[in-house]
Structure 1
Amino acid sequence: MALCLLPEWHPQDAVQLTWPGPDSDWAPLLANIEATLETLTVAIARYQPVLIAVPDDATRTRLAEAFRHRGVPAERLFLKVAEADDTWARDHGPLTVERDGELVLLDYVFTGWGGKFPASRDDSLTRRLAAAGVFAAPLVSHDLVLEGGALESDGQGTLLTTGACLLNDNRNPHLDRAAIEARLAEQLGAERVLWLAHGHLEGDDTDSHVDTLARFCDPRTIAYVRCDDDTDPHHPALAAMEDELRALRRADGEPYRLIPLPWPAPCFDAEDGRRLPATYANFLIINGAVLVPTYGDAADARALTALAEAFPDRDIVPIDCSTVIRQHGSLHCLTMQLPRGTLTGARRHEGETS
């Protein structure tokens, strides 16, 4: 293919994270989320490098020392000072395409999910990292409002997404479905766009990002959220989404292999009582492993088993995301993979943490 949005299972140079500062929404939970991010970083570093955007030099110095004590090899840690509004690297990080055999990083407009939250520093973060020489591949900016969590790629020209997000008037109101598809074809090489019309999680600020609902595991397999509690208010919409997934066909006309993921018990914010969008679909694929969010729920073990079936050749690594979910996101939302060949120094200058 001349142009393709690389799938998550493509070999990676690193995973990008954004570390929270004391002025972020994480302030009341800062110690807790930092502990979770430390655990996540250590887990990823067992397999590949981690690039972390940090708010200031003091945090950079503190984290370099903390990870040294936790045994993270220096060549697996890249700490760069770049202020941000929040931690959701999936949505302010770059998307990577392969164009005529060359890698290109794409920078899209991020508006805090349709203007719900401040996002100016998040929106400029990728460009600031590029200006600092972090990336080995060229960066191209587009004026389309688009978040990484809104798209799933099979690496063969098919994208999976939701109409509730990409067609929402709070993103690109001047573009209809045909115009959005034309942009995805031109910029990401989409030959087919599979639209899900159903599926929603209460407490989800993203307007139904597909990475909370249904995920490509390989070009033939989709893991998805199934609500097996017919008394839960999510049941009708997720049952309708399941029917949609069953009706989808691959480019060769064959149905997808579908792997249902279990439904955790409802969890609620202790302060405002809002339901939190806990989902096992928010997993992260890295080199040799799949990191899976867990919530201290009885369904955690079943989710790990289901994803082991989907990824028989990768380690399945649970990450406790009970703190992450309190800000209405989860593991995949915190991360953005950087495919092999995109990170400066990933192989040539190992040992740097500057």
Structure 2
Amino acid sequence: MRYFPAEFEPQSFVQLIFPHSQSDWSEYLEEARTCFVNIATAVARYQPCLIVCDDIDLVKSYFADQTNLIFTQYQTNDTWARDCSALTVIDEEEGEPILLDFTFTGWGGKFDASLDNAMSAAIAPIYGAPMEKVDLILEGGGVESNGIGSLLVTAETILNPNRNAHLNKVQTETILKKEFGVEQILWLNHGYLAGDDTDSHIDTLTRFIDTDTIMYVKCDDTNDEHYDALKKMEAELMELRDLEGEPFNLIALPMTTPAYYDGERLPATYANFLIINDAVLLPVYNDPHDAEAIAICEKAFRGRDIIPIDCSVLIRQHGSLHCVTMQFPEEVTIRF
């Protein structure tokens, strides 16, 4: 048997991919790099941060203090570590980690992702754990584990014909249960964010913050285009049950004021936070609702510091803080 650790469980390190001139950040590269430096520096206060980069010497020059920072060289297409990095499960009998290398196609072939898809296998020796190639198109942002047998997903992502068109829902559930060692798949059929390239990744909408608590985005503005879909998502969340047949505790996060860039609405979301050891990195957007989101997280995440990080530049490329990071559980050790 195996299990899929939840993000709120103890971690070994966080991985991110540093922006380079050939990535989609080229138009405002230095602004993007500042945000990534802020994320890496915040992580390094609590645990190691592995930075995948195309030029180690150059990237090191952005960090005056390199404590808890580890650098490895690899040329990527882009920087969405959440979706192209390996996902870790634990063999319960041996207590050993297994890295699952799913196929990444740039969210259903929207963008060239051949280098990103090959990244995990290319840098595998650094992890100190066996890696298995899984013949399934899946992104890390598309799955949420509560660590005790439940996997939360959106049908729009997992069952989208641009991912695994040859599989039906039952077949997909069978594979997910086998690979992650979970007992139930919790499906959400509603909820989206305008400007999101991922086809409604779960980590943009709703997250487990402990084994029986779900934090989610709520829209109270009846004139907002998201109101109906997020209201229906909220109703679905209320109907979900854990393996004991009990409802989950629900905590609502506010929607931001609509944000735009070049006339396009951006997927600004407070749900795209990253839980690390003893802290939560919370994306903020210079928005009037930032303070409310911070206060909600301070109350919900007792015992963890809340670290707001300005992610206004990240949403220009249709993602946020959780999307550019991947945590690895404590069982995975980095080999230098």
Partner of 2:317: 327
SS of equivalent to 1:326:
helix
State whether structure 2 residue 129 is matched by structure 1 residue 137.
Answer: yes
State whether structure 2 residue 21 is matched by structure 1 residue 22.
Answer: yes
- Residue 309 of structure 1 deviates from its aligned partner by 2.0
Aligned mates of 1:55, 1:315 — CA distance in 2: 32
1:314 aligns with one of 289, 301, 304: 304
Mark the runs of 5 or more structure 2 residues left unpaired by the alignment.
Answer: none
Aligned mates of 1:229, 1:9 — CA distance in 2: 31
Measured on the aligned residues, the alpha-carbon RMSD in Å equals: 1.0
Aligned mates of 2:166, 2:299 — CA distance in 1: 42
Alignment of 1:10-89 (within 5 A): 10-56=9-55, 60-67=56-63, 69=64, 71-73=65-67, 76-89=68-81
- Residue 246 of structure 1 deviates from its aligned partner by 0.8
Q: TM-score, normalised by structure 2?
A: 0.98
Give the aligned length: 334
2:328 aligns with one of 314, 323, 338: 338
- Residue 115 of structure 1 deviates from its aligned partner by 0.3
State whether structure 2 residue 239 is matched by structure 1 residue 247.
Answer: yes
Aligned mates of 2:234, 2:48 — CA distance in 1: 36
1:81 corresponds to which letter in structure 2?
A: Q
- Residue 177 of structure 1 deviates from its aligned partner by 0.6
- Residue 225 of structure 1 deviates from its aligned partner by 0.2
Aligned mates of 2:234, 2:254 — CA distance in 1: 13
- Cα contact 1:136–1:341 (8 A) shared by 2: no
Partner of 1:220: 212
1:118 aligns with one of 103, 112, 116: 112
Aligned mates of 2:247, 2:162 — CA distance in 1: 33
- Cα contact 1:152–1:160 (8 A) shared by 2: yes
Alignment of 1:146-295 (within 5 A): 146-269=138-261, 271=262, 273-295=263-285
- Cα contact 1:159–1:193 (8 A) shared by 2: yes
**Identical counterparts, % of pairs:** 49
Partner of 1:349: none
SS of equivalent to 2:161:
coil
Query: What is the CA deviation profile of residues 97-136 of structure 1, one whole-angstrom value per residue up to 9, with x for unaligned ones?
Result: 0112211010000000000000000000000011xx2111
Instruction: Report runs of 4+ in structure 1 exceeding 2 Å deviation.
Output: 62-66
Query: What is the CA deviation profile of residues 247-299 of structure 1, one whole-angstrom value per residue up to 9, with x for unaligned ones?
Result: 11111111111000011100111x2x111010000000000000000000010
Aligned mates of 2:144, 2:271 — CA distance in 1: 12
Aligned mates of 2:269, 2:120 — CA distance in 1: 27
Mark the runs of 5 or more structure 1 residues left unpaired by the alignment.
Answer: 346-351
- Higher mean displacement: 335-344 or 110-119: 335-344
SS of equivalent to 1:170:
helix
1:24 corresponds to which letter in structure 2?
A: S
Q: TM-score, normalised by structure 1?
A: 0.93
